[in-house]
Amino acid sequence: MSFDYDLFVIGGGSGGVRAARIAASQHGAKVAIAEESRFGGTCVIRGCVPKKLMIFASTAPAAAAEARGYGWADAQAGEFDWPAFREKLRAELSRLEGLYEGGLVTAGVTLYRARARLDDHHTVVLSTGERFTARHILIAVGGRPSLPGIPGEELAMISDDLFEMERLPRRVLVVGGGFIACEYSTILNGLGCETTLCHRGDKVLRGFDGEGRTLVTHQLENIGVRLRLESAPTRLEREGDGLRVSFSDGGAESFDAVMLAVGRHPYTGGLGLENTGVRLGRRGEIVVDEWSQTSVPSIFAVGDVTDRVNLTPVAIREGHAFADTVFGAQPRRVDHGLIASAVYVRPHELGTVGLTEEEAAERGPIEVYEARFRPMRSLFAGSEARALMKLIVCTETRRVLGCHIFAPEAGEMIQLVAVAVGMGATKEQFDATVAVHPTLAEELVTMRAPVRRAGGATA
């Protein structure tokens, strides 16, 4: 049987673009890709990139305060010009979108700017009416923000809307306690909005190391984010130009805007999967094996739509491994076991790799090494902000099982620690490494005695 393409990719985000480029340019496959919105996907257009640029923008008041602490008596952040910043942001995102498109074109991939759905195991139908057959189809459609299912929720913003706001709200409510809620309330607070974070738990960032969660929760409060913990909104109503929000604890408050950040779900709706028999999991995710192959042999899926680890570098790695395996005769699996990540709150980020103390203690005896301190740089400027460096060590093998850093630029540091942890480094190998002085990171190689032991018989 002959096909129009060797590979048809649905979704031009992190995973889809990488897979298409590698299959075409490295392995000579005839490839097409359909994108219903903008090439680059969530990360480039409405996620990691604009988010990080907004984090940078939001640090100006703290940077001015620090400069005053260093003797620049008149240092002020001045007035934030949101429309000017937004214009610059739009231009930058368009530039990046162009690079993504250009990379695909150079690789010889055919681009379709249309929504795609599946008609059968080998056929894709576009919203333009065009139909194409392909030997292999890759689904890389990502995820979409979830909604809590409360009356009036359509009045709220989701994370996509943050970058498009006409004006910054004076009083804003952020709902949720995950990555997005923490990062976006940090941004809005830094840009001068009176920000409240409402979360149904008693600490943000469920699933992270317990001490890290406590520190991020306190930091949000210390920078001026009002916390409304163990509470959830039950109703949103229009009130003049703003919104009236009722909460599960019986209270009600008025805000100029509300942003919902209560998780994301795989974007499988309307994709025609029922025409193929591709198996879905409980959360609507496409179930795949270690090779990203679905229950239908000609159809593969990578990235957030498979709900494995929903991060950009993971989607990219999965897309690349898929292309090498299927088109390059180089079978490659992705190890989802040890993936570092960072939550970009400020002034201290939370960087994490490996097991949390809680997870590690459940598996066996561990030693916990910690350094808690006020970093030299911010201390001199008059800040009380405390950092934490934490290593979780297996008592038996001496291997470092996890590392958690709460400090300025923790994302940068954890990237490098992840190399050592991934290689199976022991605590003694960390100790044998001579410190770089004076740095924050030197604390990672100078922690002499455990602060506690936990897990197994030594608990």
Ligand X SMILES: NC(=O)c1ccc[n+]([C@@H]2O[C@H](COP(=O)([O-])OP(=O)(O)OC[C@H]3O[C@@H](n4cnc5c(N)ncnc54)[C@H](O)[C@@H]3O)[C@@H](O)[C@H]2O)c1
Say which entry of ligand FAD, ligand X, none residue 177 contacts (CB below 5 to 8 A, set by partner kind).
ligand X
Nearest distance from C-beta of residue 376 to ligand X, angstroms: 26
Angstrom distance (rounded) from CA 182 to CA 259: 12
Task: Give the containing element (helix H, strand E) for 343.
Answer: strand 341-343
Say which entry of ligand FAD, ligand X, none residue 315 contacts (CB below 5 to 8 A, set by partner kind).
ligand FAD
Is 13 exposed, middle or buried (CB count within 10 Å of its CB: 0-12, 13-18, 19+)?
buried
Positions 95 through 124 that interact with ligand FAD (CB under 6 A): 115-117
Residue 215 or 260: which CB sits closer to ligand FAD? Answer: 260
Positions 215 through 234 that interact with ligand FAD (CB under 6 A): none
Nearest distance from C-beta of residue 210 to ligand X, angstroms: 15
Angstrom distance (rounded) from CA 351 to CA 397: 24
The DSSP annotation for 363-426 comes to HS-EEEEEEEE--HHHHHTT----EEEEEEEETTT-BEEEEEEEETTHHHHHHHHHHHHHTT-B
Check 27, 265, 348, 437 and give the catalytic one: 437
Say which entry of ligand X, ligand FAD, none residue 219 contacts (CB below 5 to 8 A, set by partner kind).
none
198 is in an annotated binding site: no
Angstrom distance (rounded) from CA 79 to CA 89: 18
Residue 122 or 213: which CB sits closer to ligand X? Answer: 213
Nearest distance from C-beta of residue 81 to ligand FAD, angstroms: 23
Q: Which of 159, 217, 276, 325 binds ligand FAD (CB under 6 A)?
A: 159
- 156 CB-near residues (< 8 Å, 6+ apart): 175, 236, 243, 257, 258, 259, 260
- 34 is a site residue for ligand FAD (CB under 6 A): yes
130 is in an annotated binding site: no
Angstrom distance (rounded) from CA 87 to CA 147: 29
Angstrom distance (rounded) from CA 289 to CA 300: 9
Report which of 204, 202, 174 is spatially closest to residue 189, judged by C-alpha positions: 174
Is 432 exposed, middle or buried (CB count within 10 Å of its CB: 0-12, 13-18, 19+)?
exposed
Q: How many positions of this chain bind ligand FAD (CB under 6 A)? A: 35
Contact 286, 306 (CB under 8 A): yes
Angstrom distance (rounded) from CA 237 to CA 233: 11
Positions 303 through 322 that interact with ligand FAD (CB under 6 A): 303-305, 310-313, 315
Residue 143 or 455: which CB sits closer to ligand FAD? Answer: 143
Report which of 201, 169, 200 is spatially closest to residue 185, judged by C-alpha positions: 169
Residue 13 or 347: which CB sits closer to ligand FAD? Answer: 13
263 is in an annotated binding site: yes
Residues in the chain, how many?
459
Give me the residues paired with residue 86 across strands.
none
- 268 is a site residue for ligand FAD (CB under 6 A): no
Positions 175 through 194 that interact with ligand FAD (CB under 6 A): 180
Angstrom distance (rounded) from CA 41 to CA 93: 11
Say which entry of ligand FAD, ligand X, none residue 12 contacts (CB below 5 to 8 A, set by partner kind).
ligand FAD
Known catalytic residue at 437: yes
Contact 371, 364 (CB under 8 A): no
Contact 162, 183 (CB under 8 A): no
Q: Which of 10, 137, 260, 410 binds ligand FAD (CB under 6 A)?
A: 10
Nearest distance from C-beta of residue 310 to ligand X, angstroms: 3
Positions touching ligand X (CB under 6 A) are 148, 175-181, 183, 199-201, 206, 232, 261-264, 310-311, 341-344
- 276 is a site residue for ligand FAD (CB under 6 A): no
- 142 is a site residue for ligand FAD (CB under 6 A): yes
The amino acid sitting at 275 is N
- 411 is a site residue for ligand FAD (CB under 6 A): no
Residue 10 or 243: which CB sits closer to ligand FAD? Answer: 10
Enumerate binding residues for ligand FAD (CB under 6 A). Answer: 10-16, 34-37, 41-43, 47-48, 51, 115-117, 140-142, 159, 180, 267, 271, 303-305, 310-313, 315
Mark the binding-site residues for NAD(+), compressed into ranges: 176-183, 263
Give the residue numbers annotated as catalytic, written as ranges. 437
Annotated binding site for FAD, which residues? Answer: 52, 304
Bind-site residues: 52, 176-183, 263, 304
